[in-house]
Amino acid sequence: MPEWINGKPTTLIKQGKVMEENLAQVRLNGEELLRELRAKDVFRLADVEFAIMEPTGAVNVMLKADKKPLTPHDIGKQVSPQTEPQTVILDGNVMDESLANMGLNKNWLETQLAGIGVSLDNVFIGQIDTTGDLYIDLYDDAIQMPQPKVKELLYANLEKCQADLLTYALETKDKGAKAMYDKNSEKLEQLIKILKPYLLR
């Protein structure tokens, strides 16, 4: 639509400085500007690089580069694409289509439920996330549900194995065996360090 119907956007803050004339143009005082910024979760004027008022009256804010939220890209971390979670159980009914979307079937779901000892008609909502972990909410809130903990368990097991090896290294009188235990416990220690960010999120 043409500019003369909608009007044009007005710059309110540029390079961190408030443009007082422009503010007067859109009949906004300092108090109101601060209120608009707070509506955007910005409480410190010092954090704002650029702010603009759209013709609709909405104020949009760009933060200074060092005040922007950190993204995985900023720290050079690769992340896997996360798809939306699929709701596979609703009111105790299995949603076959959502299951099929994840490449799973009813048998898989039954095995999972049997594994945690829950019957289907007791489940209010069940969701599967990208990693294939099933989260369920039961009608009966008194029952404590075990949440998926495979990776935490794996980490704990690794630590236990490493501690065991250390103990054997101390206990054995055979020099060759001691060296072997020491070497392997060091290997596992390195491994634990590498795996930590992947297992404990």
Partner 1 sequence: MTVGSQVKQTLAGLKGVRATLKICAAQSEEEDSKTVFTDATGITESVSKDLEERVKVLEFQEPQYKGH
Work out which of 24, 58, 191, 200 binds partner 1, going by CB under 8 A: 191
200 bridge partner residues: none
Query: Closest CB to partner 1 among 19 and 166?
Result: 166
Question: What 3-state class would DSSP assign to 10?
Answer: strand
Tokens found for residue 3: 């500019």
Residue with tokens 């998926």: 148
User: Of 7-15, 90-98, 106-114, 184-192, which part binds partner 1 (CB under 8 A)?
Assistant: 184-192
Question: What 3-state class would DSSP assign to 17?
Answer: strand
Q: How far is the CB of 145 from partner 1 (least distance, A)?
A: 21
- The size of the interface with partner 1 (CB under 8 A), counted in residues, is 32
- What mask, x for binding partner 1 by CB under 8 A, covers residues 124 to 163? ------xxx-----------------xx-xx--xx-xx--
Report yes or no: 120 and 113 within 8 Å, Cβ to Cβ.
Answer: yes
Work out which of 88, 128, 165, 169 binds partner 1, going by CB under 8 A: 165
Q: How far is the CB of 105 from partner 1 (least distance, A)?
A: 17
- The letter for the amino acid at 189 is E
Contacts 24+ apart (CB under 8 A), 117-121: 118/145, 120/89, 120/92, 120/94, 121/92
Query: Closest CB to partner 1 among 95 and 161?
Result: 161
User: Residue 49: what are its φ and ψ, rounded to 5°?
Assistant: -90, -45
Altogether, the residues listed in the chain come to a count of 201
Question: Cα(46)–Cα(83) distance, rounded to whole angstroms?
Answer: 36
Q: How far is the CB of 115 from partner 1 (least distance, A)?
A: 14
Interactions with partner 1, residue window 22-81 (CB under 8 A) = 78-81
Report yes or no: 11 and 22 within 8 Å, Cβ to Cβ.
Answer: yes
User: Of 43-51, 53-61, 66-74, 179-187, which part binds partner 1 (CB under 8 A)?
Assistant: 179-187
- Interface with partner 1 by CB under 8 A: which residues? 78-81, 130-132, 150-151, 153-154, 157-158, 160-161, 164-165, 168, 171-172, 177, 180-181, 183-184, 187-188, 190-191, 194-195, 198
